[in-house]
Amino acid sequence: MAQKLNYAHYDVVVLGGGAAGVAAAAAAGKNGRKTLIVEANPMLGGELLSGMSLDGVLNARGEYVVGGISDELFEECRQMNGFIGPVHDYRLICYVCVDPEVMKIAIMRVLSRYGVTCWINSFAEDVVAKDGVVTGLVVLNKSGRTLVTADHFLDCSGDGDLAVQAGAPFELSDASGDLQPVSLMFRVANVDSGALLRFAREHPDSLALGESDYIRGDKTDEQLVDLLVKQGQPSLFFKSEGPFLGDAIRRGDLPPTALIMIQPTSEARKEVCVNATRVGGNIDGTDTAALSATVGTLMEQVWQTYGFVKRCLPGFENSVFSGLAPRVGVRETRRIMGDYLLTKEDVVSGRKHPDTVVAKGAQHVDIHQSGTTQIRIPIANGGSYDIPFGCLLPKGLKNVMVAGRCLSATREGMGTARTMGPCMAMGQAVGTAAAMCAERGDPDPRQLPVKALQERLRAQGAVIDGVY
């Protein structure tokens, strides 16, 4: 017996409730559109809930290059005592650190403020499209199958699920065929930051420091560590080629990894996030069986790493394991081909596109590889780069925009724009653009004057030119 098909209509439908999707839905709602966000997981937020610090929000000079909806989220976290703020690693870039438990609440407060409808535990089963126009999304959940129609669809799925089903061209990896390893963040509470920072000061050769000429300047590793310690926050990257981490990997105490990242999440709980795990072998995050098969391995790596830091790293002696990220971290899958292709050259040169920019990024080109290797290329002068509107407009589609790591980019371009800061900025851009198209009565975002979109984004706190 055929299942009954339910029906619903919204002005804007957002697929994916990660950093890009949350910002997109909030922006569309803020601009007066009836908006639905559809998320496969039981909670909205994606990597915003992982414990990982938010990279790409600040440039290496500590200046904000992302604002607007992200500011609203940060302010909510601040009001709930869950905002640590900017933290520098004196390696490549600054980060914004928040409490992921508080961020869960902040996200829902912001979406509720703008009247956004949220469907969790919901999957995009099919797309209804003709001649480049998407008219409906079939959503599957415990309520059954629902055909959701809308004027505009925003693909913030990370994997480009909606755009691909609608016929947009895409790339996966590059000529190498490589895909970045998947990982799993975890958190540790009751950490003595003072003892940890003293250990860092005594062992600068074990830390990744000064990996750009801008940050390095004429400073020694010892001087850079002094700056880290004076900051008072445990933002540390132990490198695989350094004695502390390298010797542990050679002894078999740890699985091969490029870095162990330690960054603060909660001062009240004396908690840090640890980023260390990885499963390579070109795992395709769109292959459910392959991705699922990594979960057990990643969890064993988590427990092995926690055991190691508790035994061997000063400051962790009395620590307690406090949490896992809610999902496996996938760094790389499909990249939708759009009107503009963000390249490595765009990023590392800090290229500006004043006539078409709708978002900025500031994370270095960051491509993880299997084992202990990782490609890191800094942005010139510790600055930022522009993301043109064309990166968010899939070829062949008329009322669909993308935001997040499925943007139109080369592998290197995606290797920076995939981070949470630019994802939120891109999300705000497409959510605002969808609302403005609706106001004009023209569903095609290519007919929207980019200058008008830029002005609206500026007025609502987004960083389009300069920094703040």
| DSSP code string of 402-453 | E-STTSSB-HHHHHHHTSHHHHHHHHHHHHHHHHHHHHHT---GGGS-HHHH
Residues 344, 277: one domain? Answer: no
Domain count, the chain: 2
Residues 67, 123: one domain? Answer: yes
Helix (H, G, I), strand (E, B) or coil at 381: helix
Measured CA to CA, the distance from residue 428 to residue 69 in angstroms comes to 7
Q: In this structure, is residue 180 part of a structural domain?
A: no
Residues 390, 280: one domain? Answer: no
Measured CA to CA, the distance from residue 80 to residue 218 in angstroms comes to 40
Q: In this structure, is residue 231 part of a structural domain?
A: yes
Query: What residue type is 331 in one-letter code?
Result: R
What pLDDT score does 372 carry?
86
Pairing of strands 35-38, 320-324: unpaired
Residues 254, 292: one domain? Answer: yes
Q: In this structure, is residue 207 part of a structural domain?
A: yes
**CA dist list (Å): 441 to 135, 399, 418, 449:** 15, 12, 32, 13
348 contacts 378 by C-beta, under 8 angstroms: yes
Residues 340, 453: one domain? Answer: yes
At what angle are helices 19-30 and 100-113 packed, to 10 degrees?
A: 30
Measured CA to CA, the distance from residue 227 to residue 231 in angstroms comes to 6
**CA dist list (Å): 269 to 82, 112, 266:** 11, 28, 5
8 contacts 148 by C-beta, under 8 angstroms: yes
What pLDDT score does 233 carry?
94
Q: In this structure, is residue 279 part of a structural domain?
A: yes
Measured CA to CA, the distance from residue 424 to residue 429 in angstroms comes to 9
**CA dist list (Å): 250 to 237, 240, 266, 279:** 18, 10, 32, 18
18 contacts 46 by C-beta, under 8 angstroms: yes
Residues 21, 164: one domain? Answer: yes
Residues 159, 20: one domain? Answer: yes
CATH of the domain at 447: 3.50.50.60
Measured CA to CA, the distance from residue 167 to residue 280 in angstroms comes to 29
Residues 223, 168: one domain? Answer: no
Range of the domain at 132: 5-175+332-365+381-459
- Residue of 44, 52, 42 lying closest to 16 (CA atoms): 44
What pLDDT score does 338 carry?
98
Residues 85, 202: one domain? Answer: no
Measured CA to CA, the distance from residue 55 to residue 48 in angstroms comes to 11
Query: What residue type is 111 in one-letter code?
Result: L
Residues 265, 135: one domain? Answer: no
Measured CA to CA, the distance from residue 418 to residue 258 in angstroms comes to 19
258 contacts 372 by C-beta, under 8 angstroms: yes
Residues 166, 213: one domain? Answer: no
Of the candidates 275, 293, 324, which is a domain's last residue?
Answer: 324
Q: In this structure, is residue 465 part of a structural domain?
A: no
Q: In this structure, is residue 155 part of a structural domain?
A: yes
**Count of alpha carbons within 13 angstroms of residue 382, beta-carbon side:** 21
Q: In this structure, is residue 438 part of a structural domain?
A: yes
Which residue is associated with the tokens 């797309």?
A: 127
Q: In this structure, is residue 291 part of a structural domain?
A: yes
Residues 105, 219: one domain? Answer: no
The ranges of the chain with pLDDT < 70 are 1-2, 467-468
